[in-house]
Amino acid sequence: MSDDTARTQDPKEPRARGGGHCVVLGASIAGLFAARVLSDTFDRITVVDRDALTETDENRRGVPQGRHAHAILPAGTRGLQEMFPGLLEEFESGGVPVVREPTEMHFAPGGHLLCQEGRYVDPTPTYQPTRPQLEGQVRTRVRELPGVKIIDRCEAAGLLSTAGGARVTGVRVVEREGGAARELAADLVVDATGRGGRTTRWLADLGYEPPREDRIAVDIKYVSRTLRLAPGALGRRKVVIVGAEPGRPTGATFLQHEQDRWMLTLIGYGGHHPPTDPADFLEFAKPIVPSDVFEALCGAEPLDDPVAHRYPASVRRRYERLERFPGGLLVFGDAICSFNPVYGQGMSVAALQAAALRDCLGQGRDRLPYRFFRAAARRIEVAWQMAVGSDLALPQVEGDRPLPVRLTNAYFERLLTAAERDPALTREFVKVSSLLSSPLILLNPVTVGRVVLGNLRRPARQR
């Protein structure tokens, strides 16, 4: 991935319209991003979701992760900016916290608190709306696009195809109230139904092989609750992220969403799951977060009960490797690749997939699935390797650790150690973990030199 991978074309740029009707299954973040891009070339887009989609920014059944800490990385923020001009400005003027300076962020991946001095050179800041707020605002904008219609409370039940299944021609949907079934004819169907990914089963019905799946069984549990924090209790900090480390397979994310409203998410890998009992929940945070943060948590007012979410495994479906795939069908978002959520990559990778789709559509619709899956795989690869590599640094996660993984993890450990005191290294690492830059920038001679020196300069007892 190069530095400009996240860059998409200007949404105002005139585009050749190919006409036709496209049905997008799933009106969550990936489905909405896909609809936004497709609206540039298709005349009509119908987005179908089985949930009731209200106008308010509420949590809903189909997106249970909305009750937990959600951060959109700078690569995703760039995508939002390009697809929905004005959205970020509206967030900011509406009071959504924005992180611009290292002092506003306590970021401790793998047991290393990154340097809080200096400035981030890259101008893309981090916006912290709640997940329902983000999805609600994006949905409102997609609904306003010409030719777009969103149908809710309607379940996608199967694909329609030409005889022999060479081409998908639409989708069969069932209304959740009353159970009426109907058929929606389409020139293109996009499956954005999330990690459950209906397409694998539907492919078998049409006589195709399903894609191979890569899996990393992380066995993660999230437990979250919303808290009201005394103003200024954490000084300038607007976000606290403490990642797991080999000796402690637990972590925490504490995000400011409004002036005094914060979301605390505690995370634990297999055998170290956080409890949902309120008192035990707070106790679980104690060895993870800095002591002043723990003190602030003890004085905070809970606004809801702790709620849990289990995440068994990261799953990557290798659609780009299939030799046979029907025309008129794409798979998008988590349905292609669902990442361990602790790295906060899912929505940003959906934005990168949207950029890939825009580029592919710019070259016409011929062999679109093959071209799109390959382009999407290139965007997914870096994020997947980083997430899997970090998970495999934890002994609790099962999986092979070939030499390149062990070497990379050993280097990252030293890089993070040096980055504790080095603002330049912190900046480079943040660019990579934000999906803005290729990890290769961390191997340039200047960076490697800083890593070596940073480790040599540590006090002998730490070395």
Where along the sequence are the contacts to ligand FAD (CB under 6 A)?
25-31, 48-51, 62-63, 65, 68-72, 155-156, 192-194, 198, 222, 309, 311, 333-335, 341, 344-348, 350
**Cβ atoms within 10 A of the Cβ of 419, count?**
26
**d(Cα 380, Cα 366) in Å, to the nearest integer?**
23
Please report how close the Cβ of residue 100 comes to ligand FAD at its closest, in angstroms. Answer: 19
**Nearer Cβ to ligand FAD (25/186):** 25
Q: In whole angstroms, how far apart are CA 96 and each of 42, 89, 256, 423?
A: 33, 10, 9, 26
Burial class (CB in 10 A: 0-12, 13-18, 19+), 77: buried
Task: Write down the least CB distance from residue 181 to ligand FAD, Å.
Answer: 13
CA 343 to chain centroid, in Å, comes to 8
Pick 100 or 309: Cβ nearer ligand FAD: 309
H helical segments located in 166-267? 199-205
- The amino acid at residue 262 is W
Amino acid (1-letter code) at residue 279: A
**Residue at token pair 């191997």:** 443
Nearer to ligand FAD, 25 or 234 (CB): 25
CA-based radius of gyration for the chain: 22
Nearer of residues 345 and 433 to ligand FAD, judged by Cβ:
345
Nearest distance in Å: CB 220, ligand FAD? 8
Distance of CA 400 to the CA centre of its chain: 25
Tell the smallest beta-carbon distance from residue 53 to ligand FAD (Å).
Answer: 8
Please state, in angstroms and rounded to a whole number, the distance separating the CA atoms of residues 214 and 452. 34
CB of 196 to ligand FAD, least distance (A): 6
Q: Which of 244, 211, 240 is nearest to 105 (CA)?
A: 240
Q: How far is the CB of 225 from ligand FAD (least distance, A)?
A: 14
Residue number with CB closer to ligand FAD (337 or 360)? 337
Query: Min. distance of Cβ 401 from ligand FAD in angstroms?
Result: 25
- Bridge partners (DSSP) listed for residue 113: none
The residue among 41 and 199 lying less far from ligand FAD, judged by its C-beta, is: 199
Q: Which is nearer to ligand FAD, 25 or 425 (CB)?
A: 25
The answer to whether the CB of 233 falls within 8 A of the CB of 266 is: no
